[in-house]
Amino acid sequence: MTDAKLTRAAIVDAAIVLADADGLDAVSMRRIADRLEVGTMSLYRHVANKDELIADMTDEIAAQHPYPDPTGQAWTWRDRVRIAAEIDWQLYQRHPWVLLTFAVPRYSFGPQGLASLAWLVEGLRELDVSAREATTMAFSVWNYISGASLPVVGGALLAERRTATDDTNGLRDLLEGRPQFPVPPALADLEGAGVSDLTSQDLLTLGLEALCDGFAARAAR
């Protein structure tokens, strides 16, 4: 690509490819310039700094995974929570680094971020709560989704990625009846109880159902 054909969109796209492949720390103006075969300084005519670039990357990913248009749909507020979870769950697995940037308001609330928030708030207001209360609920939903996603994509966020496929850990050993560490009294009944066959996505759904039950009870009060 020549400097004359260089665009902000091309820079953002190249940065996303780097982040997807090697993590957010791998994104640098030099590596982007090398990928686009342009001079590093030419990037700064389109993007002021890396901070601005990360904000653009985050909003671009959000734009690529929008919440669907509710027009003509008979969705309840619980349906919107479920749909948001399904979309974000897939997003985090495709682009693990976004789990980090969504957690930073200066990165996550570009035009698409605000549109996603409005979509969720619009649904939650069916509970007859204020926009502020619905916004608080929306943040609780997002916080839960990102927290439930972290164990699934956490390995991709580590600076040195794990190459082994062994999922052995202290809790699994305890559930399988072969604890490797002293068993805390409160967990004694779990020894040998067996590993749950629930998937991570099952646990996400169960947790969101409980969270929604709490929203409904709070709104009723």
pLDDT of 17-45, one tens digit each?
A: 999 999 999 999 999 999 999 999 999 99
How many contiguous H segments (helices) and E segments (strands) does the chain have? 11, 0
Specify whether 195 is located in the same domain as 123.
yes
Q: In this prediction, what percent of the chain has a pLDDT beyond 70?
A: 95
By residue range, what is the domain housing residue 42? 3-47
Specify whether 101 is located in the same domain as 31.
no
- Look at residue 189 and tell me if it is in a domain: yes
Length of the chain: 221
Quick one: 102 exposed, middle or buried, by C-beta within 10 A (0-12, 13-18, 19+)? Answer: buried
- Is the overall model pTM greater than 0.95, yes or no? no
The CATH number linked to 147 is 1.10.357.10
167, pLDDT greater than 70: no
The stretch 132-155 carries a mean pLDDT of 94
Specify whether 83 is located in the same domain as 189.
yes
Classify 182 as helix, strand or coil.
coil
Report yes or no: 184 and 196 within 8 Å, Cβ to Cβ. no
The per-residue pLDDT for 166 is 57
CB atoms within 10 A of CB 1: 14
The stretch 187-200 carries a mean pLDDT of 86
SS (H, E, C) 38-106: CCHHHHCCCCCCHHHHHHHHHHHHHHHCCCCCCCCCCCCHHHHHHHHHHHHHHHHHHCCCHHHHCCCHH
Span of 38-47, 69-78, 187-196, 201-210 with lowest mean pLDDT: 187-196
Specify whether 17 is located in the same domain as 82.
no
Specify whether 30 is located in the same domain as 76.
no
Q: Name the phi and psi angles at 55, rounded to 5.
A: -60, -45
Report yes or no: 141 and 86 within 8 Å, Cβ to Cβ. no
Specify whether 109 is located in the same domain as 178.
yes
Give the pLDDT confidence of 64-84 residue by residue, as tens digits: 999 999 999 999 999 999 999
- Band (159; pLDDT cuts 50, 70, 90): low
2, pLDDT greater than 80: no
Q: How far apart are CA 43 and CA 45, in angstroms?
A: 5
Token pair 């990928």 is found at 35
Specify whether 75 is located in the same domain as 10.
no
Torsion of CA 158, 160, 164, 165, to 10 degrees: 20
Q: How far apart are CA 203 and CA 209, in angstroms?
A: 10
172, pLDDT greater than 90: no
Span of 109-118, 120-129, 168-177, 178-187 with lowest mean pLDDT: 168-177
Specify whether 149 is located in the same domain as 83.
yes
